[in-house]
Amino acid sequence: MLNIPSRYQEIKKRYKGLHEALENLGKAARDAGPLDSKTSHLIQLAAAAAIKSEGAVHSHTRRALEAGATHDEICHAIILLTSTIGFPSTSAALSWAEDVLKNQPKD
């Protein structure tokens, strides 16, 4: 099991209905099409990187790992953004993903 941040756990506990609705929305979106879970989380990881959300990059890195993504796939999903979001944003996103990856066994 991957380490879930305490802040996330606090919000989940305090706002149970909201958290449940968000989880259901995410599941409904993933179930709406043919993409597998790993691909879906890699896409969400890329979106998190594009909006420069460190917390979401951490979260989707964890979720991508849980869905079977390798360290290399996660880093590649971020590297692919270089020409779209720029090198500084890509570099930051890679460092955020590494916050999670450094605590996980290499593939």
CATH number at residue 73: 1.20.1290.10
Is residue 105 very low, low, confident or very high in pLDDT (cuts 50, 70, 90)? confident
Neighbours of 57 (CB within 10 A): 29
Separation CA 53–CA 51 (nearest Å): 6
Q: Residue 1 falls within a domain, yes or no?
A: no
In which domain, by residue range, is 59 found?
Answer: 6-101
Q: Residue 39 falls within a domain, yes or no?
A: yes
Residue 1 has pLDDT above 60, yes or no: no
Q: Residue 107 falls within a domain, yes or no?
A: no
Our count of domains for the chain comes to: 1
Q: Which residues contact 35 (CB under 8 A, 6 or more apart)?
A: 43
Separation CA 103–CA 50 (nearest Å): 24
Residue 94 confidence (pLDDT): 98
| pLDDT, tens digit, 9 for 90 and up, residues 22-65 | 889 988 998 999 999 999 999 999 999 999 999 999 999 999 99
